Structure formats: structure tokens, C-alpha cells
Amino acid sequence: MNRKDYRIVDYLSYITECILNIENYAKEISEEEFLSNQLVKDAVLYNFAIMGEASFKAFFR
């Protein structure tokens, strides 16, 4: 699918999916465990980056 074929709803769906991913990664661990677990921190940061990219593409295309 070409970028022009995406609708705002598609980008909002990606953002929602990222939020759910972040919640799942962090829901069962303490702040200390989160800060000491590089894998979880990277996964959360990656999802924030995807959210930022989707936000930008949805509203500035």
C-alpha cells in the first residue's frame, strides 16, 4: 500500500497499537525493574518513535 493510500484512521490505529504495546511491556514491572531492563526500555522507546512518526504522517501528509 502506497503512503497516499493510508487514511488518518490507519495512522491512529498504529498509535493505538503502540500504546497497547507499551502498556503490556510495563504493566507488570516496577520503575526500578523498568530502568534496569534495557530490552524493555528499547521496546518502549521504539513504540514512542513509531507513534511520533504516525502522528506526523497523519497530520502533515
* Containing structural domain, residue 28: 3-59
Dist CA 19 CA 22 (whole Å): 5
Express each pLDDT in 12-29 by its tens digit. Answer: 999 999 999 999 999 999
pLDDT of 4 over the 70 cut: no
Tally of CB atoms within 10 A around 16:
12
State how far the Cα of 61 lies from the Cα of 39, in Å rounded to an integer. Answer: 32
**Count of the separate structural domains present in the chain:** 1
pTM of the model: 0.83
